[in-house]
A = this chain, B = another copy of it.
Amino acid sequence: MKTSQIKIVENILNANDQIAEENSRMLREHHIYSINIMASPGAGKTSLILKTIQGLSNDLHIAVIEGDTAPVTIDADKVQAQGIPAVQINTGGQCHLDAPMVRSGLAQLTLNELDLVIIENVGNLICPAAFKLGTNINVVVASIPEGDDKPYKYPNIYRGIDALILNKIDLRPYIEFNETYFKKGIEILNPGVRIFDLSCKTGIGLSAWTDWLKEKIVHFKNE
């Protein structure tokens, strides 16, 4: 990139971070905990969100913001079918959510009634890493079929996240996946990050994730 182009990219990122700060402040003022869920296409972001809703919606009022590159409401429909408000954001082909998009999503929700907002980012292991949204935590969903070398190939997305979900562990018998190699890669990028092995399909491992999350939210509400 030329210097003028780099300058514009820097300006976009700075402007994004300012709005991410505003999102964070607005959410905190309403005592709403928030999560940004990132992953490769098909790793299981929506499945994880649906299972998280099932695990937490007895105790908490939840809403979901769905980021999509196209004007489809497939994921938002699945969330709404569970009786949970969902806002769909069409990025118009753009490869990630940014803070202004999340701000416009939040404006469509009744914030006074909510305890938790889950944001499903666009399926992409690269671009979302650069754009803060203003959430309390950032989570990446990985999955067994993607392969054990992803932390080595797409390192930026794993840096600075607060939890890693390793989904689709029900497929372990059918796919070669060196878990030691995978987790060593994660540990190098993000020492001590909490990792949850689970299967949204069978439900195994899910309660460890929802219990951890519930504790985070209770702690936040009592701050």
A-side residues, CB < 8 A to B, are: 4-5, 8, 12, 40-42, 68-70, 72, 74, 93, 95, 122-127, 143, 145-147, 149-150, 152-156, 168, 170-171, 174-175
Q: Pick the residue among B5, B95, B122, B154 that contacts A69 (CB under 8 A).
A: B154
Query: 10 A–B contact pairs at CB < 8 A?
Result: A42-B143, A69-B156, A70-B152, A70-B153, A95-B124, A124-B127, A126-B127, A145-B145, A145-B146, A171-B171
Copies in the complex: 2
CA distance A155 to B171 in the complex (A): 27
CB distance from A141 to the nearest CB of B (A): 12
Q: Which residue of B lies closest to A11 (CB)?
A: B5
Do residues A153 and B74 form an inter-chain contact, with CB atoms below 8 A?
yes
| CA distance in complex: A143, B147 (Å) | 12
CB of A16, distance to nearest CB on chain B (Å): 12
A40 CA to B127 CA in the complex, in Å? 13
Q: How far is the CA of A74 from the CA of B170 in the complex (A)?
A: 26
